[in-house]
Amino acid sequence: MFTLNVNGQSHDVDVPPDMPLLWVLRDVVGLTGTKFGCGVAQCGACTVHVAGQAMRSCVLPVSALGSRPVTTVEAVGQTPAGQKVQQAWLEIEVVQCGYCQSGQVMSAAALLTHTPDPTDADIDAAMSGNICRCGTYARIREAIKLAATGRTTAMPTVPIAAPAGPGAQS
């Protein structure tokens, strides 16, 4: 029996000590916002905060948690960084299919908590472990910058070559 502090609430769970936190959250506590992707800490979809740190819950045995508090995507909006990230995500319309996004939001919120004004290199270091198969990376980067600074910057775009010759101007 373990007593978990998840999103400020206490949960007593009767699970094997080596059950990954992800399954405790999804199947026992009933918080399904955190997603299963790869199961081996290679995609980031299962990211939660443990004592403020972004962690891959799919490889974190519940017994390793101790008394550290857990925050999931369901409650990250109640933290200052999480709130900014979610607002920026809406404004930039980052999400495409959405499956990876709870992990992306959690990694981004953790980044802004310890690095309020991240450089591109900081964003690479913090976000490279979160994979998005829709390829929303450019919008993720933009939304993190918006959340950090309150300003939008020009997003990188692929120039489309206009057909040359007469009539192109008309």
Partner 1 sequence: MKTRPTLRIALLGAVTLGVSTLALHETSILRASAHAQDAAPAPSQSVQPASAAQASPLVQRGEYLARAADCVACHTAPGGKAYAGGLPFKLPFGTMYATNITADRETGIGSWSDDDFVNAVRKGVGKGGKHLYPSMPYTSYTAMSRDDALAIKAYLFSLPAVRQPNRANHLAFPFNQRWSMWFWNLVFLKDRRFQPDPALSAEENRGAYLATALGHCGECHTPRNLAFAMKANRQFAGAELQGWRAWNITPDKRFGVGGWSDAQLADYLAAGHANGRGSAAGPMGEAVENSLQYLTPQDTAALVAYLRKIPAQPGEAGTEVDLQPAPVLASSAWAPGAGDTGGALGKHIFEGACASCHQWNGQGQQTPYAALLGSQAVNDPTGLNVVQVMLHGAHMRVRGQTVFMPVFGRGYSDGELAAVANYVVSHFGGKPGRVTPEAVAKARTAG
Residues that bind partner 1 (CB under 8 A): 17-18, 40-42, 44, 53-56, 59-61, 63-64, 110-111, 114-115, 121-122, 124-126, 128-129, 131
The residue (of 110 and 146) whose beta carbon lies closer to partner 1 is: 110
Q: Where are the beta strands (DSSP E) in the chain?
A: 2-6, 9-13, 47-50, 53-56, 70-71
Query: What is residue 23's three-state secondary structure?
Result: helix
Cβ closest to partner 1, residue 91 vs residue 120? 120
Q: Which is nearer to partner 1, 20 or 95 (CB)?
A: 20
| CB 30 to partner 1: min, Å | 23
44 vs 82, which CB is nearer to partner 1?
44
Q: Find out whether 62 and 21 touch, Cβ atoms under 8 Å.
A: yes
CA dist., res. 115 & res. 123, Å (int): 9
- Least distance CB 120 / partner 1 (angstroms): 12
Residues in the chain: 170
Helix 80-92 vs helix 101-114: angle between axes, to the nearest 10 degrees? 130
Residue 37 C-beta: closest distance to partner 1, Å: 12
Q: How far is the CB of 164 from partner 1 (least distance, A)?
A: 37
Helix, strand or coil, per DSSP, at residue 71: strand
Comparison of 59 and 163: residue with beta carbon closer to partner 1: 59
CB of 90 to partner 1, least distance (A): 25
Supply φ then ψ for residue 150, to 5 degrees: 80, 0
